[in-house]
């Protein structure tokens, strides 16, 4: 059956670069040669290139309305990491941290609150100058005022608003519980209001699978697939379990990722083994199986997919395209798990209509949250995100 509709053909223009189940590690300014060596190492047929998603370079500090390098770090060193990342499909991020003789919250505050607009411009300029894939914010401080919290979240939102249209990401380093700044009480507004692409907790050897991992995931419930649990690369056993056992918890959880301090893997042993990096590779691959969401740069494209609520917990999706001879659709959750196959399409003067009643393939009601509908139109794929609110 051939149906013709006089609209433009749907195409994917840009694929957004944020991943589910991300794996991140940092390059400190004092360990550049060691990190270069470790990133290129082979651990029995697998290496860091196979397991990492993000690689923040902790090379920058805030200075009022300016961004300054930590020491005499050469652009050529930064470019080495960026080139390595591009070769291995790993996003290399500009990391800003506020250690200035000590962790100096006032230095960070002067930039993200007092000089926010100019500081955002300075960060954006350096990202574009060197070709970073995004920004990681590592501002650490004591318990702070509500004003500071709100200003920090507004700063993160401004960064996201500036970087997302350029297909670049923003991640955050945070304390793993309710103390200090930022902390887990900030995670929901950072995900929902600022729209950050990832948060990594800094519990490291203080945290553990039998201590607080589940509690951290619960506090990251606004976007658990973008959450990373911090692990200490300087020891192989902490809180009663070795790194391989800690990773088993992450794999069983199936939703969150990990962050490792740092890329030197100075703990050696299991941290530099095929056993551990095959598990980390599996975590990264769980995230890469998710359906990428398109960002259309032509408003006409957006008009060709209409998604509206049509019942207490479902949606109607209408497709309009020229010379459309076949169309099918599937629903995925944000982690990439297949939720439903839609075979109840119907034709009308508006286009091809799909309806989803909000249940999965076992007939269970889906929870509120972000989903993706993936269409196959004449053999071409296009996806669109939506939020199930009821």
Q: Compute the distance between CA of residue 171 and CA of residue 257 in angstroms, rounded to an integer.
A: 13
Q: Check residues 10 and 357 and name the one with the higher pLDDT.
A: 357
pLDDT grade for 4, boundaries at 50, 70 and 90: very low
- Strand ranges (E), 32-117: 54-63, 66-69, 91-97, 99-100, 102-103
368 and 331: one domain?
Answer: yes
48 and 77: one domain?
Answer: yes
- Quote the pLDDT of residue 305: 63
- CATH (domain of 164): 3.20.20.80
- Quote the pLDDT of residue 343: 65
- Quote the pLDDT of residue 199: 98
- CATH (domain of 303): 2.60.40.3080
71 and 91: one domain?
Answer: yes
Four-CA torsion 150, 203, 265, 60, nearest 10 degrees: 20
Q: What is the DSSP string of 170-224?
A: EEEEE-SSSSSBS-GGGHHHIIIII--SEEEE--GGG--TTTTHHHHHHHTTTSG
- Quote the pLDDT of residue 327: 74
Q: pTM of the predicted model, to two decimals?
A: 0.74
| Overall domain count for the chain | 2
Q: Does the residue 2 lie in any domain?
A: no
* Three-state SS annotation for 302-343: HCCEEEEEEECCEEEEEECCCCECCEEEEEEECCCCEEEEEC
284 and 303: one domain?
Answer: no
The residue range of the domain holding 354 is 299-388
Q: Does the residue 12 lie in any domain?
A: no
Q: Compute the distance between CA of residue 210 and CA of residue 143 in angstroms, rounded to an integer.
A: 26
Scored b (16 or more CB within 10 A) or e, 98-110 reads bbeeebbbebbbb
DSSP state letter for 243: H
372 and 224: one domain?
Answer: no
Whether residue 100 has pLDDT greater than 90 = yes
Q: Compute the distance between CA of residue 55 and CA of residue 262 in angstroms, rounded to an integer.
A: 10
Q: Compute the distance between CA of residue 97 and CA of residue 241 in angstroms, rounded to an integer.
A: 30
Mean pLDDT, the chain, rounded, equals 85
């Amino acid at each position: 059956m051939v149906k013709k509709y006089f609209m433009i053909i749907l195409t994917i223009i840009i694929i957004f670069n944020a991943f589910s189940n991300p794996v991140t590690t940092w390059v400190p300014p004092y360990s550049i040669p060691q990190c270069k060596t470790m990133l290129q190492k082979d651990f029995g047929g697998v290496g860091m290139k196979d397991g990492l998603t993000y690689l923040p370079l902790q090379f920058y500090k805030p200075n009022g309305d300016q961004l300054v390098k930590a020491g005499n770090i050469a652009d050529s060193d930064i470019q080495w990491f960026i080139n390595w990342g591009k070769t291995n499909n790993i996003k290399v991020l500009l990391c800003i941290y506020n250690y200035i003789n000590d962790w100096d919250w006032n230095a960070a505050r002067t930039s993200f609150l007092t000089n926010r607009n100019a500081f955002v411009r300075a960060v954006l300029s350096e990202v574009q100058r060197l070709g970073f894939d995004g920004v990681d914010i590592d501002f650490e401080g004591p318990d702070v005022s509500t004003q500071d919290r709100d200003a920090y979240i507004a700063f993160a939102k401004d960064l996201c608003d500036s970087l997302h249209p350029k297909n670049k990401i923003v991640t955050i380093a945070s304390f793993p519980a309710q103390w200090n700044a930022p902390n887990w009480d900030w995670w929901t507004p950072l995900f929902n209001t600022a729209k950050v692409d990832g948060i990594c907790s800094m519990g490291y050897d203080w945290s553990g699978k039998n201590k607080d991992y589940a509690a951290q995931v619960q506090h990251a419930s606004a976007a658990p697939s973008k959450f990373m649990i911090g692990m200490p690369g300087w020891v192989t056993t902490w809180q009663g379990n070795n790194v391989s056992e800690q990773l088993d918890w992450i794999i069983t959880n199936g939703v969150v990722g990990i962050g490792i301090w740092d890329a030197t893997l100075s703990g050696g042993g299991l941290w530099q083994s095929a056993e551990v990096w095959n598990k980390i590779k599996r975590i990264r691959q769980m995230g890469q199986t998710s359906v990428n969401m398109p960002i259309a740069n032509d408003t006409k494209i957006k008009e060709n997919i209409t998604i509206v609520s049509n019942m207490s917990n479902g949606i109607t999706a209408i497709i309009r395209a020229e010379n459309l001879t076949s169309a099918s659709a599937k629903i995925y959750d944000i982690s990439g798990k297949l939720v439903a196959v839609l075979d109840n399409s119907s034709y009308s003067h508006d286009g091809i209509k799909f309806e989803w009643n909000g249940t999965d393939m076992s007939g269970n009601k889906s929870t509120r949250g972000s989903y993706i509908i993936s269409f196959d139109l004449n053999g071409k794929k296009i996806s669109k995100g939506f939020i199930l609110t009821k």
